[in-house]
């Protein structure tokens, strides 16, 4: 790879399916609690999700510039999208890189980001992040531990990598509205870096049988909505690749007693926005693009502005209409975004255009890609 009312997280341990001990889902030890009253009427919720946070050296330098009194402050980068994130009942990001320490911070090709990224995400309103990516092992087991420790301190939960076998057997769970939501995350690979000796559970691999087993285990343990994050796809390719199409079809077709095992798939990795599609009745985002990244250069070595374009998905879930039915997505939206590499800011494109910015062509290009697999016919709309 190149350059609320918000319901609070509820710590509920879920032992994953037998044979999946090397899975990497986890919870942070310091999460906030807030169990809905048993007598409360079912209430829906909104979930927002965003793409890769990939701090290149220029991004790190900007956060240093934005900090008052030294250090790094990443919160200003996200200020333009914070109203959308903070209003959601559940907000999930993708933390692609691991964290360094004591000023040892690097960009491409082996990333070590300042741990202050975590507090910036928390101040923006994110509840949790997927952490399984091809860069998860850029600094070995130490990098994984350092990253998850920092996210814990910031109150941002995580799914996809783990510090221990016990943590890897623990699914990440949230309360949103009156629903119990499980979040699981996986990656296609780790850039050829081997798993740390004796730690096969450090990062969760993207394997169909394993994902289905974990989703079913989470459901048996009480999850009413199961969200899967997948780090997959072909870099710089607008269209989803065959593996994405195939795996999306198989995962969304998986059912237990007629009920889908997975309720939403969130894709990252390709650097460019990719399509949204409803597959077997379940929404799939093939790729949200890079929410934060420095200048991006494609396989031809050319600067490619698509590498700084992304979408934020927003899904409104409504309670089941009958016993045993699923929570349904009653409203599906995408919000086009741009990371302004000069200003070092995430830009909500619709808001910026309304304020007079000449970004209509960028917004329309993203919309064309997002709707390229027929999502509009299934009710996907562009949000604000």
Output the DSSP codes for 105-155: -B-TTS-BB-THHHHHHHHHT--EEE--STTTTTTHHHHHHHHHHHHHHHT
- Spatial separation of the C-alpha atoms in residues 68 and 124, rounded to whole Å: 18
Would you give the distance in Å from CA 297 to the centre of its chain? 23
- Rounded to whole angstroms, the Cα distance separating 148 from 123 reads 17
Enter the tokens of residue 28.
Answer: 């942070």
CA distance 48 to 310: 13
User: Contact 237/251 with Cβ under 8 angstroms?
Assistant: no
pLDDT at 40: 65
What pLDDT shows up at residue 5?
35
Quick: pLDDT tens for 28-63.
Answer: 333 333 444 455 688 999 999 999 999 999 999 999
In the chain, DSSP assigns E strands to: 45-54, 90-95, 128-130, 157-159, 172-176, 179-187, 225-231, 255-256, 259-260, 264-268, 276-279, 282-285, 290-293, 309-318, 328-340, 345-348, 381-382
Dmax (CA) for the chain in angstroms is: 59
Rg (CA), the chain: 19
Domains observed in the chain: 45-382 (3.60.21.10)
What pLDDT is stored for residue 41 in this prediction?
Answer: 85
Helix (H/G/I), strand (E/B), else coil: 75: helix
Q: Give me the pLDDT at residue 324, please.
A: 86
Does the bond joining 109 to the residue before it have cis omega, within 30 degrees of 0?
yes
Task: List the chain residues with pLDDT less than 50.
Answer: 1-37
Residue 351 CB contacts under 8 Å (≥ 6 apart), including other chains: 80, 384
Note if the pTM is more than 0.85.
Answer: yes
Judge contact between 161 and 147, C-beta under 8 A: yes
């Amino acid at each position: 790879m190149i350059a609320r009312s918000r319901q609070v997280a509820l710590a509920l341990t879920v032992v994953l399916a037998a044979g999946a001990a090397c899975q990497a889902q986890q919870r942070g030890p310091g999460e906030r609690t807030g169990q809905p009253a048993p007598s409360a009427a079912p209430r829906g919720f909104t979930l927002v999700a965003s793409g890769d946070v990939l701090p290149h050296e220029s991004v790190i330098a900007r956060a240093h510039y934005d900090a008052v009194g030294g250090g790094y402050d990443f919160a200003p980068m996200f200020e333009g999208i914070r109203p959308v994130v903070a209003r959601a009942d559940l907000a999930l990001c993708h933390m692609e890189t691991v964290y360094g320490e004591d000023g040892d911070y690097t960009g491409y090709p082996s990333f070590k980001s300042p741990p202050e990224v975590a507090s910036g995400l928390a101040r923006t309103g994110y509840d949790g992040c997927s952490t399984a990516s091809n860069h998860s092992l850029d600094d070995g087991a130490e990098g994984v531990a350092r990253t998850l420790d920092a996210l814990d301190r910031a109150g941002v939960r995580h799914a996809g990598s783990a510090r221990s076998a016990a943590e890897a057997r623990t699914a990440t769970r949230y309360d949103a509205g009156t629903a119990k939501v499980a979040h699981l995350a996986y990656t296609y690979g780790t850039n050829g870096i081997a798993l740390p000796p004796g730690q096969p559970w450090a990062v969760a691999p993207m394997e169909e049988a394993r994902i289905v087993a974990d989703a079913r285990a989470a459901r048996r343990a009480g999850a009413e909505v199961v969200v899967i994050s997948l780090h997959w796809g072909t870099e710089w390719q607008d269209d989803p690749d065959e593996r994405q199409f195939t795996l999306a079809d198989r995962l969304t077709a998986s059912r237990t007693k007629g009920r889908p095992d997975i309720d939403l798939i969130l894709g990252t990795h390709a650097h460019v926005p990719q399509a949204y599609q409803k597959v077997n009745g379940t929404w799939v985002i093939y790729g949200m693009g890079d929410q934060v990244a420095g200048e991006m250069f494609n396989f031809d070595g050319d600067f490619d502005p698509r590498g700084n374009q992304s979408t934020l998905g927003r899904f409104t879930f409504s309670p089941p209409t009958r016993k045993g039915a699923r929570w349904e997505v009653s409203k599906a939206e995408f919000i086009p975004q741009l990371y302004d590499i000069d200003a070092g800011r995430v830009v909500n494109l619709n808001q910026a255009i309304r304020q007079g910015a000449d970004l209509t062509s960028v917004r329309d290009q993203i919309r064309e890609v997002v709707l390229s697999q027929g999502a509009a016919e299934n009710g996907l709309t562009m949000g604000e």
